[in-house]
Structure 1
């Protein structure tokens, strides 16, 4: 029996090139597919970050408007205190005004609580690299610097607020301040003050006008710091609005 051997012809260089090109393109296409999927995933993340940042900025605008209203109440109260305290004599309405406006000075929350969820994620997860629009990145940086500057001013403002507290405790019957809304519109117990006045002969802890003048000056100083804080808030709102406009433009693409 004869055994027939199959003859294998050697491959030509064209066949080797063809196989190499097929393998190369298979690897290349796989790489490109993986790159595209990663690119799409990053663009989705970028979109989510931009949407989240936009919502944070809108919340900041509401927060700043709300706190500016409260700060406006403090400024009005400081003006009233200065107007009344420097009068030569006080009647019963003046005494009520001193107490009512003093309560406003210490019961209005004015520190602006900025949203930080998105910016924290961007920092911790290295998300800034995902934002391709350099103008947006720059505006975010400017907005964050504004928040830092405002916090420095807030620290100074809180110190002045503490001084107002300190002097109030030295000149006013602070026991008539109340958190019960049913007692009075501003938490001022007029009945208790009348009882104290009858027992002690005075509606205040001191009759020294210089102590009250110091009080008026301290509230005036606080008013100045509040006014500058409002100015900074207005600048920050403008930055927020500009950044929201940029974000909306980018998200529309």
Structure 2
């Protein structure tokens, strides 16, 4: 009965003991999660900090050194390649301008050789006329040839490119040894052989011949040039003025011998000019073959 009475009694809310609510459970769960996350963050920070101070072994140093060396080496190769390309273009440009100079030299040499061949023939004509007795001489032809051999025609050296190569130290750009040697020999041939002959003619032989000519021949007949009518008219007016006096026979003989020296030097000049022309032609062929200009 007692039990039944208890069951039937009304329940007093104040007498109900306190119980854990759902909010308290959730709060406890959140607190635990926060503590867990903090612990995890602390461990991660500690882990990363420790990794940065790991000790390197020889393999790490080797690979770092290798990568650095590879970068420097590749950079040097690229720089050398660019420098090689630039220098090759400069070499080719020098070759082009050198060919232009050699072609100009060849044109001038051909004219010079023709000039000196003509002059050598005129020297022979003068000697043949001098060998004749005075009354038998063709005075117009004699004076004409004497006047014409006074001319001089020096070789015009087009050395623009060779001077640039010499003054700038860029002969090293000419990699083909045969071409480099040919250029040097070509320049030396002109500087020594051709210039020596021109100096002998201009400063020694020509002044000597002019001195003798001034004592033997009347300059009035030189003034008429190639005009035979004026020459004949002048000769008619002054027939004795063109004759060489007997007391100058030795001087005329001296002049005759000087003409031989003059012709010999002229023949040597023609030989050396022709040789220079061949050298220039061969050098042009070498340059065209090496640099594929043709």
TM bucket by the smaller chain? 0.7 to 0.9
1:1-253 pair list within 5 angstroms: 4-5=45-46, 6-7=48-49, 8-10=52-54, 12-13=56-57, 14-91=59-136, 94-107=138-151, 109-147=152-190, 148-158=192-202, 159-178=204-223, 184-185=225-226, 191=230, 194-195=233-234, 198=237, 201-203=240-242, 206=245, 208-252=248-292
- Normalised by the length of structure 2, the TM-score is 0.74
Is this contact kept in 2: 1:176–1:189, CA < 8 A? Answer: no
2-side partners of 1:175 and 1:137: how far apart? 54
- Normalised by the length of structure 1, the TM-score is 0.85
Describe the SS at the equivalent of 1:90.
Answer: helix
Describe the SS at the equivalent of 2:154.
Answer: coil
2-side partners of 1:146 and 1:56: how far apart? 16
Relative distance call for 1:223 and 1:62 in structure 2 (3 A) is same
Relative distance call for 1:89 and 1:200 in structure 2 (3 A) is closer
Is this contact kept in 2: 1:176–1:192, CA < 8 A? Answer: yes
Is this contact kept in 1: 2:140–2:231, CA < 8 A? Answer: no
Relative distance call for 1:11 and 1:131 in structure 2 (3 A) is farther
2-side partners of 1:190 and 1:70: how far apart? 27
- Report which of the two structures shows the higher radius of gyration computed on alpha carbons: 2
1-side partners of 2:232 and 2:54: how far apart? 113
Alpha-carbon distance, 1:126 to partner: 0.8
2-side partners of 1:202 and 1:176: how far apart? 10
Number of aligned positions between the proteins: 245
Alpha-carbon distance, 1:53 to partner: 1.7
Give unmatched runs, 5+ long, in structure 2. Answer: 1-37
Alpha-carbon distance, 1:70 to partner: 0.9
Is this contact kept in 2: 1:128–1:137, CA < 8 A? Answer: yes
Alpha-carbon distance, 1:176 to partner: 4.1
Structure with the largest fraction of helix:
2
Alpha-carbon distance, 1:206 to partner: 4.6
Give me the CA root mean square deviation: 2.6
2-side partners of 1:57 and 1:212: how far apart? 43
1-side partners of 2:289 and 2:177: how far apart? 14
Relative distance call for 1:62 and 1:225 in structure 2 (3 A) is same
- TM-superposition CA deviations, 1:85-133 (whole Å, max 9, x none): 1101335x711011100111102x3322222111111111111111111
